[in-house]
Structure 1
Amino acid sequence: MRRSTAVTSPAPSSADPKVDGRLAALGRFCFRHRRWVLGFWAVVLVIGVLIGGRVFAGSVAGASSASSEADRGSAVVTAADPSRGTVTAVVDGKPVDDQAVREAVTKATADIAALPGVSSATDAYGSGPAGAALRSADGNASLVSVRMADASTDAQTAAVTQRLADIKADGAHVTVGGDLVLQDEVKKQTEKDTRFGEIVTLPLTLVVMVLVFGGLAAASLPVIGAVASVGGALLAMFGFSKIMDIDTSVLPIATVLGLGLSIDYALLMVNRFREERGHGAGIAAAVERTAATAGRTVAFSGLTVAVALSGLFVFTSPVLAAVAAAGVSVVVIAVAAALTLVPALLGFAGSRVKAPTAPVPDEGFFSRTVRRVRKRAVPVALACVALLMAAGAPFLHADMRSSGAAVLPASSAGRQVADTVDQRFPMASQAPITVVVEGGATVAQAYADDVVAKLPGVSGVRAVTPVSDKVSTIDVLVHGDPQGGQAKKVVEELRADRGGLTTQVTGGAASVVDFQHELLTRGPIALGLVALGTLVLLFLMTGSVVMPVKALLMNLLSLGASLGALTLVFQDGWFSGLLGFSPAGGLETFIPVLVFAFAFGLSMDYEVFLLARIKELRDKGHSCTRAVELGVQRSGKIITSAALLMVIVFAGFALGDMLMVKQMGIALAVAVAVDATLVRCLLVPAAMSLFGEFNWWAPAPLRRLHNRFGLSEHVDLPTIAPAVIPGQRPEAKELVITP
């Protein structure tokens, strides 16, 4: 008869004393009720997957803000002449006056004009300026422009798009675009890139975690936790889409944040569980102690990231407000998954998770690096600061712009039509600046002739168009870049001299000016709130006023390096061929703000990991020098592994085709890589060596405040009697525990 060798989970006993605290209690609950917890998250995942497509379909490509003059001007035009948008076809390849082309185009235009949901349909064969504007300068291409009624449906738009695509004439080819097609392509491409990023990054992170943990069981738990949290994130964003406009660009940004944080937090939890098992705890006790220690780290880290993202609520831009709402909710979900789902999964897989068989050594690569840095603290600190400042310098010449169709890959039909219209149909292309005049065409024409045309930088007034009896528009052309410095100056001049009329200056250049104005007025407030919140949190954790300030300055340096890389790549075109995109000549307006909020939160995340370890060692009686050595050594592997996984996640999303997703992915990957290497391994040890015991200084009143209200990630755990773990060497019971 064969004897079973299966290992069963040890039940809590007097050998595994109970740990006090709410997080420990939560860990116990999730372990005991692990089937219910797993079932709950399975339901969340299934529902999240089922509604995932609806989240993207319900998003808004280019959400507007009532506080922006550019958006108010667009709203005035829409109210005067409601329209859902346009569908535009480019008929190219044969002369416009070719008889077969004329017959095919005019028949299609007549057919489309009779379709439901169509407000108007025009082609190049109409009389007057309207027809001429739809004819290319070389006479070899024409446009068919269809305006959809405000109440038109997606199905009606699709019918129009199909009829335009069906235009047939020997030698001619048709490409269908327009703003409605662009919006649809942005949604579909964003969803495709998000799915692609998840498919690429999850297998890679699993491989890395197998190498980190030395086993598939432990490595798979963070991936499972991350997948479940993404389902929760989709649910949260679906809920927000019902109460506010969620810009399409928000969805991949929130997804990549949730995926990265979930993997990071689950990695910490599983790593602590393995160490508790190696120390001799049974599975139930190890889960409980993991929740009490690593769970505390996760909760504190999540709070730090949420504080950084909350600064975005200061802005009125709907994109930033939506990112703030979605981002904070994603952080909450990632923390919730780490504190509930991961303990439940550990309860199921605990006996198959390999426990370490040797203590974490106090001597190794990281401790030796710290000692070398300490011997040359001044030159190392100066070199790091100089390098980071040099890396951030390119951001000083960064140019903000609204990319428009350029956010899509060059292969998309919508972008091809937009580029063709800009290059070959100057009279039909969107003017850099549009002045909305609340008055008739006569009044608007007089204002255009007497004021607008005479402004420096204006190359001409293309058209004055009556939208209704009470609203007219003036298309203004400018010298040079349509969103460059000259165009922005013209916007300011038009707003300074309105000719005694009620006007709204809108268009691409005006939108950029409005956003930059918001950054200048509200940015310092947001930065101040984030900095204050971070300083308070770090003070409550460390009891020092020196280390929070130092951490803040270091994070700003690493952020500068990230923004500098962003400028070099996406504005100046470095590695654009390798990354598969065409530089747009600048950065999307809101991307630097998002990079700041996300990268700041993630950098402070790693700062918390490291400072918590150093603080705990100092509290145990180690000198500042030795505490830094041991802190970097004992947390170095886990921080490096977490950072590597973050870089993989961000880089995976950067492989997508959407320009905004690429920009966020590259910027965050650079920020995390710089922070986990140059800053944590060199600059932090050098600075702490220079400051010595002054690192822990705080005025007496603040010390008393910290003694009363301070937060600590360290938990005094009761001693446990070692459990028998197959394959463990006797000395493993001396393992150093690191949250």
Structure 2
Amino acid sequence: MTRTPTRRSALYRWGVLTGRRPWAVVTTWLVLVVLSFATALGAVTGEGLFDRLHSGDIVAPGEADRASALLDSAGGGGFTTDTLLVEGVADLADREVARGNAEAVQAIADVDGVASVVNPFVFEEGPRDPAAAPFVTGPADDPDGFATVVTYDDGLGDAELEAARAEVSTQLDEVVSASRATDSQRGSVQALVDAIIGQVGSDMKTGEGLALPVSFAIMVVVFGGFLAAGLPILGAVASIGGALATLFGFAHVIDLDATVVNIVTVLGLGLCIDYGLLVVSRFREEARGVLDGAPADTLTPADVAHITGLTLDRAGRTVIFSAVTVAISLTGLLFFPVVFMRASGAAGVSIVVLALLVGVSLIPALCALSARRLLRRGTEQAPDEGVFSRLATGVQRVPWAVIAVVLALLVTLALPALRLHLTSSGPEMLPKGAPERTFFETFREDYPDLAGADVTYVTTAPEAAVTRWAKGAASELPGLVTDPVVETVGEQGSGTQVRVVELRTGDGGLGDASRDLVDALHEQRPPFAGHIGGQASGLHDFTDVIAERAPYAVLTVVLATFLLLFLMTGSLVVPLKALVMNVVSLGASLGALVWVFQDGHLEGVLGFTSTGGVEASIPILALAFGFGLSMDYEVFLLSRVVELHEQGHPTDEAVRLGLQRSGRIITSAALLMVVVFSGFVLAQVLAVKQTGVALVLAIVIDATLVRMLLVPATMSVLGEWNWWAPRWMKGLHERVGITE
């Protein structure tokens, strides 16, 4: 009844071992998954993954980073502040209001850990004192609101800071009460970060809560049974636990952004479902081939072990190729000296390895345990004619027309990418109406002087030189709405004074005026050394780093992917064609992303407010992850086509049969991945939502237009030229290629 491959590969031998000892494999995974969830959720160390996450600006080496470091060295940065905005005060000149505020402010100043507290009532003439103007809002002759800013000592421990904040919060209540205000808002950068991290965690739960049941329902339809559908889901649950534990480990060695956790966890979830789908489907196919129509109950333990070996000999190889291609695409992120990018790349690669291990160990073991039940609906071979073979036949009749139409559509979709405008949002990450976002919007609008300068120039130059430049050349810089202001923020350990020239454009720090100002400062440097600070400067540094390192990242990813596909196919043409099609496909998804988020289309449908740009990190992440997922489906299809071609089928027939046998898997895998990333689309955090839309678009475009239409059409046109390579490359493939 059994059949043995002509060459017993390592994967075949591992599959046989897994088929003989499935309980050992499953038990090992069960222990690891329980430990993983316990570790990630804090049951082991008392500290969970989400306790160690960060969220903030994406910092690249450059002017802004050096400006921030110089400020920190002089004690001008790194302080923790809480701000209270009191609104709707009937009379700021009322004596009782002034007395109550003075008492509350003094109580705050007496709290251990508080460095300073300022509101209009600490000034000599109260709210009408000219020096108090930045702290007051409303009509000039009758202000009706004010701000109280509390700064804490630098270097406080978490417990000390929390205790100080609790006492301060009580006294801020007294400020509101004494002012007899109609409304008030409180906020801080830390509260904003906590809100973003908390929302990311909530978004992840929502996404996974949607993905798992919907994916299960889809797989029930695909497999025609609950058992077969449940095996990939069990693998996905294992992947979630392993991913969270792995990320918990990463969080101890790098600053891990909350958004990274969402992205790579869901990537692992999607890949595990994809690989589970492929392995379970191939297991049933191999079992039907071995049984050749005999009843499933006749399977012996030796048959099950042999079938598991056959499954991994082919599907296992596809899983490995797929995982390696996805990992290669993510290693491109390691070329960028940005912590966020490198964290995404390193964590992503580790999660891909985890998905690979699940695909070649846990899922086959579960298949072996459930072998007879998996085949109860029949053991006949699947037909070679069906929807996908008919689709391929239709495409092969008019390949040039298909190529022209698909390419025209992809290029049209890609055109908006030419006007990509990057941004780096802060409070705008949260949905409109969120308390933390509302606070910062009010703060910027009503207290612009307290909100800080839009662009800064940080220097240790002598005061006279800095002041002379500020009053002269600096005042002529483009986009300024007020005269430059010079402030001495402190001194370094050496005693050198650190000064800041504050430059205000009135656009929040990321508008065109701030960007033009930063460009002008780069072209017209002051006559003394210093560094340009602010969000626009940080974005300028980020784009410079990306432009500088991108060629190396792209070259490495392209060469490694080409080499892998060559080892798989022995062809020079197929890898080149796959890379070109992926570039066009990703360009189309990026263009659509610009059309949606930068131009503001579909705001109501997707539930977001356009910021006039795309978050700076998203295009790079979307290209890296999208490239990997596109090659994932390329490998799914090519592995079948190459297998059939090696068996002697002509190219057109190999493509038809390959698409027929893999089309359902590719379509189902793509649909499942869309479901998984749709959780991102429903997210409230803007960067997560943009990532989800970008990846959903990339998957849909690739799995439909490219994989189902463009690949069969181009392979039909090229015919046997698909497999061409120079003689020396053919010889190399014969020696080191990965074949049957």
TM-score, normalised via structure 2 length: 0.90
Letter in 2 for 1:152: L
| Alpha carbons 2:57, 2:424 under 8 Å: kept | no
| Alpha carbons 1:262, 1:335 under 8 Å: kept | yes
2:30 counterpart SS class: helix
| Alpha carbons 1:277, 1:355 under 8 Å: kept | no
For residue 640 of structure 1, report the CA deviation from its aligned partner: 0.3
The answer to whether the aligner puts 1:109 opposite 2:105 as a matched pair is: yes
1:121 counterpart SS class: strand
The answer to whether the aligner puts 1:271 opposite 2:281 as a matched pair is: yes
| Alpha carbons 1:38, 1:344 under 8 Å: kept | yes
1-structure distance, mates of 2:681, 2:423: 20
The answer to whether the aligner puts 1:257 opposite 2:264 as a matched pair is: no
- Match for 2:517 among 454, 471, 490? 490
2-structure distance, mates of 1:96, 1:580: 40
- Match for 1:452 among 464, 474, 479? 474
The answer to whether the aligner puts 1:163 opposite 2:170 as a matched pair is: yes
Give the structure 2 partner of residue 44 of structure 1: 32
1:467 counterpart SS class: strand
- Match for 2:687 among 660, 667, 686? 660
Deviations 1:250-288 (A, max 9, x none): 111111111111111111111111212222263332222
Once the two structures are superposed, the pairs formed by residues 272-671 of structure 1 within 5 Å of their partners are: 272-279=282-289, 280=291, 282-354=303-375, 357=378, 358-439=380-461, 441-461=463-483, 463-469=485-491, 470-478=497-505, 482-671=509-698
Give the structure 1 partner of residue 238 of structure 2: 228
2-structure distance, mates of 1:89, 1:320: 35
- Match for 2:120 among 117, 124, 132? 124
1-structure distance, mates of 2:130, 2:167: 24
2-structure distance, mates of 1:481, 1:397: 22
- Match for 1:698 among 708, 711, 725? 725
Gaps of 5+ in 1: 1-13, 716-739
Moved more, 218-227 or 119-128: 119-128
2:525 counterpart SS class: coil
1:196 counterpart SS class: helix
For residue 72 of structure 1, report the CA deviation from its aligned partner: 1.6
Give the structure 2 partner of residue 733 of structure 1: none
| Alpha carbons 2:59, 2:542 under 8 Å: kept | no
Distance 1:442 1:420, change over 3 A: farther
For residue 528 of structure 1, report the CA deviation from its aligned partner: 1.2
1:483 counterpart SS class: coil
Deviations 1:370-422 (A, max 9, x none): 22222221121111111011111111112101111111122332211111112
1:435 counterpart SS class: strand
For residue 237 of structure 1, report the CA deviation from its aligned partner: 1.4
- Match for 1:148 among 152, 155, 175? 152
For residue 439 of structure 1, report the CA deviation from its aligned partner: 3.5
Deviations 1:70-129 (A, max 9, x none): 112112112211534322222123346164654554444333332233222222333366
2:360 counterpart SS class: helix
For residue 354 of structure 1, report the CA deviation from its aligned partner: 3.5
Distance 1:525 1:15, change over 3 A: closer
Deviations 1:448-503 (A, max 9, x none): 21222112333334532211141111221237674244422321221333323221
Distance 1:305 1:101, change over 3 A: farther
- Match for 2:82 among 77, 83, 87? 87
| Alpha carbons 2:444, 2:508 under 8 Å: kept | no
| Alpha carbons 1:301, 1:605 under 8 Å: kept | yes
| Alpha carbons 1:71, 1:511 under 8 Å: kept | yes
2:738 counterpart SS class: coil
1:88 counterpart SS class: strand
Moved more, 405-414 or 18-27: 18-27
| Alpha carbons 2:640, 2:658 under 8 Å: kept | yes
| Alpha carbons 1:94, 1:101 under 8 Å: kept | no
Letter in 1 for 2:309: E
- Match for 2:196 among 183, 186, 193? 186
Letter in 1 for 2:389: S
For residue 222 of structure 1, report the CA deviation from its aligned partner: 0.8
2-structure distance, mates of 1:426, 1:401: 21
For residue 442 of structure 1, report the CA deviation from its aligned partner: 4.4
1-structure distance, mates of 2:631, 2:168: 49
1-structure distance, mates of 2:687, 2:508: 21
Once the two structures are superposed, the pairs formed by residues 23-102 of structure 1 within 5 Å of their partners are: 23-53=11-41, 54-62=48-56, 65=59, 67-81=61-75, 83-95=78-90, 97=92, 99=94, 102=98
Give the structure 2 partner of residue 724 of structure 1: none
Letter in 1 for 2:403: A
Deviations 1:477-535 (A, max 9, x none): 23767424442232122133332322110111111111111121111211111111111
| Alpha carbons 1:427, 1:462 under 8 Å: kept | no
1-structure distance, mates of 2:131, 2:583: 53
Distance 1:64 1:596, change over 3 A: closer
1:562 counterpart SS class: helix
For residue 232 of structure 1, report the CA deviation from its aligned partner: 1.1
Letter in 1 for 2:543: Q
Deviations 1:644-689 (A, max 9, x none): 0000000122211111110111110111011111111111111112
2-structure distance, mates of 1:455, 1:553: 45
Distance 1:352 1:176, change over 3 A: farther
Identity between Structure 1 and Structure 2 (%)? 40
Distance 1:350 1:175, change over 3 A: farther
Letter in 2 for 1:218: A
Distance 1:707 1:130, change over 3 A: farther
Distance 1:522 1:141, change over 3 A: same
Equivalent residues, number? 700
For residue 194 of structure 1, report the CA deviation from its aligned partner: 1.0
Letter in 2 for 1:114: D
Letter in 2 for 1:433: V
Distance 1:567 1:497, change over 3 A: same
For residue 130 of structure 1, report the CA deviation from its aligned partner: 5.8
2-structure distance, mates of 1:194, 1:30: 33
Gaps of 5+ in 2: 42-47, 124-128, 292-298, 492-496
Letter in 1 for 2:227: A
1-structure distance, mates of 2:552, 2:97: 59
For residue 558 of structure 1, report the CA deviation from its aligned partner: 1.1
Letter in 2 for 1:345: L
1-structure distance, mates of 2:717, 2:4: 42
Distance 1:256 1:432, change over 3 A: same
TM-score, normalised via structure 1 length: 0.90
Moved more, 378-387 or 488-497: 488-497
| Alpha carbons 2:60, 2:541 under 8 Å: kept | no
For residue 698 of structure 1, report the CA deviation from its aligned partner: 0.8
| Alpha carbons 1:461, 1:474 under 8 Å: kept | no
